[in-house]
């Protein structure tokens, strides 16, 4: 059986009791980054535990072997932070398990996109999650246009190295939109920036350095 275990996106106190019990009881843990995930397992008393890596570079080689093993033993799939399968390769293991009739049990928990949406102040009745946008202006605008056409709030992840460039694309193509940016969610330096694309862009440009991971939300209405 495969358990999909959501883990904290920053604050380790956000892990659920059910997630703790599952990680303690399972026979092995499937992790995107075993070295990084060891910290969480130590924190909840689930270490030592066998760890198997499942990441972009090895997913095709190990997916079938893991699925066969999960047909006989219980394993927990975790990601570096948040819910497995959301903008990471975990969904491919789930797909293989479904194909082979291996039971898949989801354990709900933290997710950066929904966490940011809940505090954004933007419409929440309809949203379109875009993951990590492609790097060119044309592809960024095309993805956001799909959200505008659907009358949905767009949500995507962005790195500190690209946030200024991406906001420039947004400001040029959708100057009348409303933007909310969540930085370092649930961590010590968590913050939200809100306003028009130009207003948020200018707030970031005034900083001597831009650090942290960003969740960006855009409303077109």
Same domain for 76 and 152, yes or no, is no
Find, among 109, 77, 105, 89, the residue nearest to 10 by Cα: 109
pTM for the model stands at: 0.92
User: What pLDDT score was predicted for residue 213?
Assistant: 92
In this predicted structure, the answer to whether residue 114 has a pLDDT above a threshold of 90 is yes
Residue 195 maps to which CATH number?
A: 3.30.950.10
- pLDDT by residue (tens digit) across 80-96? 999 999 988 899 999 99
In this predicted structure, the answer to whether residue 56 has a pLDDT above a threshold of 90 is no
- pLDDT by residue (tens digit) across 132-169? 999 899 999 999 999 999 999 999 999 999 999 999 99
Number of domains observed in the structure of the chain: 2
Q: Which domain holds residue 129?
A: 112-219
Same domain for 66 and 133, yes or no, is no
Same domain for 150 and 102, yes or no, is no
H helix intervals, the chain:
17-25, 34-43, 59-70, 90-99, 112-120, 137-149, 163-173, 197-205
- Domain termination site, one of 107, 126, 145: 107
Bridge partners, 216 (sequence order): 156, 181
User: What pLDDT score was predicted for residue 130?
Assistant: 97
Mean pLDDT of the chain: 95
């Amino acid at each position: 059986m495969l358990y999909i275990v959501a883990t904290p996106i920053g604050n380790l106190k956000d892990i659920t009791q059910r997630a703790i019990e599952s990680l303690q009881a399972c026979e092995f843990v499937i992790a995107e980054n075993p070295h990084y995930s060891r910290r969480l397992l130590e924190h909840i008393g689930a270490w030592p535990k066998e760890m198997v890596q499942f990441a972009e570079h090895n997913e095709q080689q190990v997916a079938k072997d893991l699925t066969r093993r999960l047909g006989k033993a219980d394993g927990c799939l975790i990601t570096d932070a948040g819910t497995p399968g959301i903008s990471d390769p975990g969904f491919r293991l789930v797909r293989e398990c479904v194909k082979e009739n291996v039971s898949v049990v989801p354990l709900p928990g933290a997710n950066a996109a929904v966490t940011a949406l809940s505090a954004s102040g933007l419409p929440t009745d309809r949203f379109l999650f875009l993951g990590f946008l492609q790097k060119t202006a044309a592809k960024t605008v095309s993805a956001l246009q799909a959200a505008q056409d659907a009358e949905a709030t767009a949500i995507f992840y962005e790195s500190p190295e690209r946030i200024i460039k991406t906001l420039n694309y947004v400001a040029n193509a959708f100057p009348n939109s409303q933007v909310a940016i969540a930085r370092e969610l649930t961590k010590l330096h968590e913050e939200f920036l809100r306003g028009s694309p130009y207003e948020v862009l200018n707030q970031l440009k005034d900083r001597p350095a831009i650090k942290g991971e960003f969740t960006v939300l855009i409303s077109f209405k």
